[in-house]
Amino acid sequence: MKSYLAAAIQLTSVPDLQKNLAQAEELIELAVRQGAELVGLPENFSYMGEEKDKLAQGDAIALESEKFLKKMAQRFQITILGGSFPLPVDNTGKVYNTTLLIDQNGQELARYYKVHLFDVDVPDGNTYRESSTVVAGTQLPPVYFSEKLGNLGLSICYDVRFPELYRHLADKGADVIFIPAAFTAFTGKDHWQVLLQARAIENTAYVIAPAQTGNNYSRRLTHGHAVIIDPWGVILADAGEKPGIAIAEIKPTRLEQVRRQMPSLQHRVF
């Protein structure tokens, strides 16, 4: 593992596939111009809209999303995480909430189907039933072992509330953990930052958290604040509340230092 720059992209994705991909490409290019070699996109980066519309366009969204990720990786010679997009599941009328990790040659390195679905009545009056259109994954997320970028662990949004999933990633050797999200504005103001810092601290790993922000459609408001956090829980970069990027250096020396000074993973009893 070497030192390198990583970027967490922040978008306001809307019910317009091509518009979203154009916005994403612009910000990916901006990140690459600043030197980023590892780039993460948020959950639902290619489409955010009413569930019925998402399902109706599911095949097109999935096809274009995967094609886009491979094109961006090859064009800019980066490793890219497609935070998530809907992938239709045969004979169900539903989709997987899917994240893909793609290398600079356009080859798929890892994929993960979100296992924790957001079925929540938020105190602001909004109700979310992700399970009404999404099939839960049945496999714990993978860790991709990269000599250059470190060991990269995958997860998606609501997973962040389930620390056992991240302990699994730590057990697998994760150095860097992706948490792409479309966190609601209401829950985000109280929980987003503290949950991300906790996952970084307890697993002594870097966290890269791309995010949705603003008014995506109808009453769907997302929190923003895409961040990169170091293994001590220090926020290295924060994209704020508008579309943009959070970019920071991932340092193996920092990882080693924190794990030496706070060897909590070695002290586990359970």
| Domain boundaries defined on the chain | 4-266
As a whole number, mean pLDDT of residues 198-216 equals 98
d(CA 117, CA 126): 16
Q: In 204-267, which residue ranges form alpha helices assigned H by DSSP?
A: 252-261
pLDDT band at 80 (very low <50, low <70, confident <90, very high): very high
Q: Is 157 labeled as catalytic in the residue annotation?
A: yes
Check 54, 70, 114, 251 and give the catalytic one.
114
Check 37, 43, 64, 66 and give the catalytic one.
43
Query: 132-154: string of b/e by CB count within 10 Å (b at 16+)?
Result: ebbbebeeebbbbebeebbbbbb
Cα-trace Rg, the chain: 17
pLDDT for 122 = 87
Q: Is 37 labeled as catalytic in the residue annotation?
A: no
pTM for this prediction: 0.97
d(CA 134, CA 117): 8
As a whole number, mean pLDDT of residues 65-91 equals 97
Label the pairing between strands 94-102 and 79-89.
antiparallel
The pair of structure tokens assigned to 216 is 């995506």
Whether 79 and 102 have beta carbons less than 8 Å apart is answered as yes
pLDDT for 219 = 86
Amino acid present at 48:
M
Q: Is 71 labeled as catalytic in the residue annotation?
A: no
pLDDT digits (tens, 9 = 90+) for 174-196: 999 999 999 999 999 999 999 99
DSSP string covering 89-123 = ETTTTEEEEEEEEE-TTS-EEEEEE--S--EEE-T
d(CA 214, CA 217): 9
**Is the CATH number of domain 4-266 3.60.110.10?**
yes
- Express as a percent the part of the chain with pLDDT over 90: 95
pLDDT digits (tens, 9 = 90+) for 27-61: 999 999 999 999 999 999 999 999 899 999 999 99
The pair of structure tokens assigned to 18 is 């091509």
Label the pairing between strands 227-229 and 235-238.
antiparallel
The pair of structure tokens assigned to 156 is 């998606």
d(CA 265, CA 221): 37
pLDDT for 224 = 97
Three state DSSP letters for 153-183: ECCCHHHHHCHHHHHHHHHCCCCEEECCECC
Whether 5 and 176 have beta carbons less than 8 Å apart is answered as no
In the chain, the N- to C-terminal Cα span, in Å, equals 29
Nearest to 208 by CA among 7, 49, 3: 7
